[in-house]
A and B are shown apart, each in its own frame.
Chain A
Amino acid sequence: MKPLRKPVFLAAGAYTMSMGTGRKEFDPKKSRPGLEYYINEAVRAVLAQIPNPDVVDEGVIANFMAARFNRQGNLASLLAAAHPALRYKPMVRVEGACGTGGLGLATGIKTVLAEAADVVLVLGVEVQNTVKAIYGADILAGAGHYASERKVGHAYFFPNKFSERAGAYYERYGAERTRKAMAAWYANAVENARLNPLAQEFHNTSPDLVKVGMTKPDAASFTEHLNVFDCSKVSDGAAAVLVCSEEGLARLGVGRDAAVQVAGYGQVVDDLVQAPPDLTALTTSRKAVEAALGQAGIGVQDVAVFEVHDCFTITGILSMEALGLANPGEGPDLVSGGAMKRGGAYPTNTSGGLVGYGHPTGASGVRMAVDLWKQLIGRGEGFQVAVQKPHGLLISMGGNDKTVVSLVVRK
């Protein structure tokens, strides 16, 4: 696998609070800020880190379903509304379901590699609390193949897709140990979120998280194998970061030590119309990780911190296997043993992940990149972990393991 043709860096990252149930500020009965607010907040926080916002050459806005959640299209030009320095510049919107943020990062990286720009603002955003979860489930079902799957699908379409994965995993590798690992994943997610004031579960004070995580699923009201705590949150939020060339980084004026370098990335899709080849494995994610590590020229053991797409706790466990940190069927042991914890061998989702921080779908991949950047340059504040190795890795996954970007960055 060829290395990147020129150095690419990430710098000046930021993300907003993840708003939704769990936050004390959230009241479903009151009106809330919309898409524009979150875009503006993230852009403002990024541009505040550099002396001259005019250095931004291009922009990428990553968003999954604003056309339905917010009845808004033409997002490329909505991005330019966030700051005068963004007007009359090339902007583009990308979409790849819940892997949208990863696509945004890949697009920014390619733009720099193509030498079309030296500084690309990549922003991910989603504002989903405009509808109740039962209607949001319809919208999110667009991440599957709508024509062939929605009508026959479950009311809670995606939770059920991953409930089926959990069921298949139980069958092949044992239900009880998997269920326990799912609860451990939930507990770790909330414990990390408690360290991140922007996380949706920051206010969670539940004394026994494992017990909560073990809540028996209720098929009549939700899904057969997942309880609501196994699920990521319904969230409003945005994240943004600057993707730069070496020249671009110099123009930013932030210094190399305040940036991370892109070591490699893998961008892979599978056929949306077909069922996954193996319900117990994230086959596409695995390929994206292999491509990213291959390009970086490193092994997974060289990675200090991980961000994985735990849209559901079972997905967190499957991701550990897709990363190659555990053999098929051994993910639950790895997770129950605490390897993904802050002090464990593979600190993962240190700011809460999708279950703990929240999952503003289009923003999640970008938020992960920002958290890797924070950890590697030592700006993790309350959730900083000891980084002994130079690399960080993320998996941004769309749909049922269909559209995936994996990114490796280094100090």
Chain B
Amino acid sequence: MELKDRLRNVAVVGAAGKMGSGISLLLAEQLAFAALEDRAGTYVLSLIDISDQGLQGLVRYIREQIGKTAERQINRLRSLYAERADLVENGEMIAEFVHEALLHVRTGKSLDVAKDALLVFEAAFEKDELKIDLFKKLADGCGSATFFLTNTSAIPIGFLGRESGLEGRIVGYHFYNPPAVQKLVELIAPSQCSPGLEAMAGELARLLGKTIIPANDIAGFIGNGHFMRDGLHGLAEADRLADDLGWAESVWAVDRVSRDWLLRPMGIFQLIDYVGVDVFQLILSVMRRHIPAPELHSDLVDLYLELGVKGGQTSSGAQKDGFFRYEKGRPVAVFDPNRREYVPCEPDGWCKAVEARLGPHPDPAMSWKALQRDRDKDAKMRTYFAHLKETDTLGAELARRYAAASRAAAERLVEMGVARRPEDVNSVLTLGFFHLYGPINDLM
């Protein structure tokens, strides 16, 4: 069966979550355009989740976002609706497109809704038992030709397939957050995967405008394989510096260096907060369960969670408090587990003292934001890192240690066979994490 036939009936399980809603939107758009170009066909997108409230919010989100897509693609819409005499204005065509897109969508809380699906996406919480339970039920309910794409970021896909009886019909399809925007999809084809499924997954990615990076089926894959080790390095560095600087100070210092000195979009602790401290811990535990890597553990993370510090985002997308407390998305205080409270950042007080300890930034004009759209960024980064290499400050030393640890983590992924080549790790970091450069480089 060809991809275009499979797209006639698609289901998303866990559709109302952060990842599921983005995947649902991408598919809703795809089906809407497919239906316009193939008027004889019927198209169904079944969106399944556990709460009515979540599903209603999901439909609202899809409606709003498809309206924006239609506005951006108005030239395409005008030509697709050329024969519709009743649709004259941009506004009429956009409204009609949104209306038609939602005609394909049906929502439900039962997996029965997915029984006719030819393509099932799953985006449930990253828990072995939960995913296995869902896939077992789907295996029973769906036809034998159905393919399954799981948005899994750490659990080995072959394991999920074996446990649920879907061997050969399941592939890892790891989107990055937010799926509607991020260009990267990590494709994990387990050893038993049918060649047809792997090829179809690649074709689908092209249709969705995504770039596929293949990863081998080893827990954590490339994205989390690097992120977990990168985060653990940050935690270890903060811990190492804490005796001297104090805890809040060292968290602040490591976050600042990992963002501003390394020219990354976010500091490591802000990134962990963004993902969720709880999710960080969960991924570590998943990886430990599936690969012999006892070092993938952090007492500090466990302590934070015991104290109820979880990070992550609210349903409206606002950042919840984690390593930092946030106001309008910006860190304003650092959590101190000893004092069990947030220590407010004092720009003219202790922050300034830490700043003085780190020493001046090697080149304040260089930042992720400034370089992001700079066509000469490669040359500028080369100069910057050459200078950083020679700089004798605490900040520069931390940055060098950080870059070296990041590189070691990346090289480990290649050695372990998680990534097929160094370039794939670099691509995951640049596409999925918006880094300006890959960890395996000759910049330093």
- Return B93 CB to nearest CB of chain A, in Å: 9
CB closest residue in chain B, given A138: B89
B85 touches A151 (CB 8 A): yes
Place the interface of chain A in its size category.
10 to 19
Indicate if B74 sits at the interface (CB-CB under 8 A).
yes
CB closest residue in chain B, given A157: B90
Across-interface contacts of B89 in A (CB, < 8 A): 135, 138, 141, 150
- Return A211 CB to nearest CB of chain B, in Å: 13
Interface residues of B in 89-139 (CB under 8 A from A): 89-91, 94
- Return B92 CB to nearest CB of chain A, in Å: 8
CB closest residue in chain B, given A223: B75
A132 touches B88 (CB 8 A): no
- Return B73 CB to nearest CB of chain A, in Å: 9
A150 touches B78 (CB 8 A): no
Interface residues of A in 106-150 (CB under 8 A from B): 132, 134-135, 137-138, 141, 150
A138 touches B90 (CB 8 A): yes
Across-interface contacts of B72 in A (CB, < 8 A): 221
Q: Is the interface of A mostly helix, strand, loop or mixed?
A: loop
Indicate if B71 sits at the interface (CB-CB under 8 A).
yes
Across-interface contacts of A154 in B (CB, < 8 A): 75, 78
Inter-chain CA distance A99–B183, complex, in Å, is 46
B90 touches A135 (CB 8 A): yes
CB closest residue in chain A, given B77: A155
A135 touches B91 (CB 8 A): yes
Q: Is the interface of B mostly helix, strand, loop or mixed?
A: helix
B91 touches A155 (CB 8 A): no
B91 touches A150 (CB 8 A): no
A155 touches B88 (CB 8 A): no
Indicate if A220 sits at the interface (CB-CB under 8 A).
yes
Across-interface contacts of B91 in A (CB, < 8 A): 134-135, 138
Across-interface contacts of B88 in A (CB, < 8 A): 150-151
Q: Mark B51-75, 1 if CB is under 8 A from A, else 0.
A: 0000000000000000000011011
Inter-chain CA distance A135–B70, complex, in Å, is 12
Across-interface contacts of A141 in B (CB, < 8 A): 89
Inter-chain CA distance A69–B216, complex, in Å, is 56
Inter-chain CA distance A46–B72, complex, in Å, is 42
Inter-chain CA distance A155–B72, complex, in Å, is 11
Interface residues of A in 194-239 (CB under 8 A from B): 220-221
Inter-chain CA distance A221–B73, complex, in Å, is 8
- Return B205 CB to nearest CB of chain A, in Å: 21
Contact of B74 among A134, A150, A151 (CB under 8 A): A134
B74 touches A155 (CB 8 A): yes
Across-interface contacts of A138 in B (CB, < 8 A): 89-91
Which of A138, A150, A220 lies at the interface centre, i.e. has the most chain B CB atoms within 10 A of its CB? A138
CB closest residue in chain A, given B93: A155
B75 touches A132 (CB 8 A): no
Which of A134, A150, A155, A220 lies at the interface centre, i.e. has the most chain B CB atoms within 10 A of its CB? A155
Inter-chain CA distance A399–B91, complex, in Å, is 21
Inter-chain CA distance A135–B91, complex, in Å, is 6
A137 touches B75 (CB 8 A): no
CB closest residue in chain B, given A147: B88
Inter-chain CA distance A135–B75, complex, in Å, is 13
Across-interface contacts of A134 in B (CB, < 8 A): 71, 74, 90-91, 94
Q: Mark A58-96, 1 if CB is under 8 A from B, else 0.
A: 000000000000000000000000000000000000000
Q: Mark A357-390, 1 if CB is under 8 A from B, else 0.
A: 0000000000000000000000000000000000
Across-interface contacts of A132 in B (CB, < 8 A): 71
CB closest residue in chain A, given B74: A155
- Return B436 CB to nearest CB of chain A, in Å: 24
Inter-chain CA distance A154–B77, complex, in Å, is 11
Across-interface contacts of A221 in B (CB, < 8 A): 72, 75
Contact of B78 among A135, A155, A220 (CB under 8 A): A155
Given contacts A220-B75, A221-B75, contact A137 B90 (CB under 8 A): yes
- Return B314 CB to nearest CB of chain A, in Å: 20
Across-interface contacts of A135 in B (CB, < 8 A): 89-91
- Return A221 CB to nearest CB of chain B, in Å: 7
Inter-chain CA distance A337–B74, complex, in Å, is 38
- Return B118 CB to nearest CB of chain A, in Å: 32
Inter-chain CA distance A325–B337, complex, in Å, is 77
CB closest residue in chain B, given A146: B88
Inter-chain CA distance A185–B94, complex, in Å, is 34
A155 touches B75 (CB 8 A): yes
- Return B78 CB to nearest CB of chain A, in Å: 5
Inter-chain CA distance A31–B72, complex, in Å, is 23
CB closest residue in chain A, given B75: A155
Inter-chain CA distance A134–B89, complex, in Å, is 10
- Return A173 CB to nearest CB of chain B, in Å: 28
- Return A215 CB to nearest CB of chain B, in Å: 14
Which of B75, B85, B89 lies at the interface centre, i.e. has the most chain A CB atoms within 10 A of its CB? B89
Across-interface contacts of A151 in B (CB, < 8 A): 85, 88
Across-interface contacts of B85 in A (CB, < 8 A): 151
- Return A140 CB to nearest CB of chain B, in Å: 11
Inter-chain CA distance A307–B248, complex, in Å, is 63
Which residues of chain B have a CB within 8 Å of any CB of chain A?
71-72, 74-75, 77-78, 85, 88-91, 94
| 12 further contact pairs, Cβ within 8 A, besides A134-B90, A135-B91, A155-B75 | A132-B71, A134-B74, A134-B91, A134-B94, A135-B89, A138-B91, A141-B89, A150-B89, A151-B85, A151-B88, A155-B78, A221-B72
Which residues of chain A have a CB within 8 Å of any CB of chain B?
132, 134-135, 137-138, 141, 150-151, 154-155, 220-221
A-B contact pairs, 5 of them (CB 8 A): A135-B90, A135-B91, A151-B88, A220-B75, A221-B75
Question: Which 8 interchain pairs have the tightest Cβ spacing?
Answer: A138-B89, A155-B74, A151-B88, A135-B91, A134-B71, A138-B90, A150-B88, A134-B90
